A and B are shown apart, each in its own frame.
Chain A
Amino acid sequence: AQSVTQPDIHITVSEGASLELRCNYSYGATPYLFWYVQSPGQGLQLLLKYFSGDTLVQGIKGFEAEFKRSQSSFNLRKPSVHWSDAAEYFCAFFNDYKLSFGAGTTVTVRA
């Protein structure tokens, strides 16, 4: 079945350190892939998307993600995290009108 998996439920990172969130997909063709972010008690905001072409995509808030077909991965990265990056992050794929989400990774930023 088509799906995305986020192996890490919770990650703690120090402010100023780098961050990488993992996402693996299971899909026959090249999927439309996304990363969304959710601050506590709020809706979701699109960080970045991958449809085709350049496998390194840039998003908002200094985030980037790399699509690796050989590893079926679409990992999210940020070189230097800020306290405001503390949130829940969701990987998602789109197919047949529907956007399906991974279970999410909660990021805690310590001073």
Chain B
Amino acid sequence: SQTIHQWPATLVQPVGSPLSLECTVEGTSNPNLYWYRQAAGRGLQLLFYSVGIGQISSEVPQNLSASRPQDRQFILSSKKLLLSDSGFYLCASDGRSNTGELFFGEGSRLTVL
């Protein structure tokens, strides 16, 4: 089965600083990959998904970006963080099943001060 690794697990960043969250996947190849954000009391919001290397679809306009430099690597970035970027970020993979059966990482908790 798949394993999703995310890091860092926790970080505290000042407003205006850059961000890089990394996600790597083991146990599958050519997966569809996803970034979700979970803000306090607001459920799960799909931010980006990728069906292949260099292919990124954005669901919500914002100051975040995503990249997929390798088949099993998915990176979430920002050049300048906002307070509203605080939240719990989850990376997920469907192992190319394209059925909605997602495997999730343990998440990265970002606090912007």
A interface with B by C-beta (< 8 Å): 32, 34, 36, 41-46, 49, 51, 90, 92-94, 97-104
Contacts and interface: CB of A to CB of B under 8 A. Distances in A.
B102 A99 contact: yes
Nearest to A104: B43
Contacts of A103: 42-43
Contact of A46 (B46, B98, B102): B102
A90 B102 CA distance: 13
A93 B109 CA distance: 25
Secondary structure class of chain A's binding surface, majority of residues: strand
Contacts of B100: 32, 34, 49, 92-94, 99
Interface string B36-52: 00000011101001010
Contact of A90 (B43, B46, B106): B43
Which range holds the interface residue count of chain B?
A: 20 to 34
Nearest to B109: A41
A10 to B, nearest CB: 11
B96 to A, nearest CB: 11
10 contacts: A41-B109, A42-B106, A43-B92, A44-B90, A92-B100, A94-B99, A97-B49, A97-B57, A99-B102, A100-B46
Given A49-B100, A90-B43, A90-B44, A98 B106 contact: no
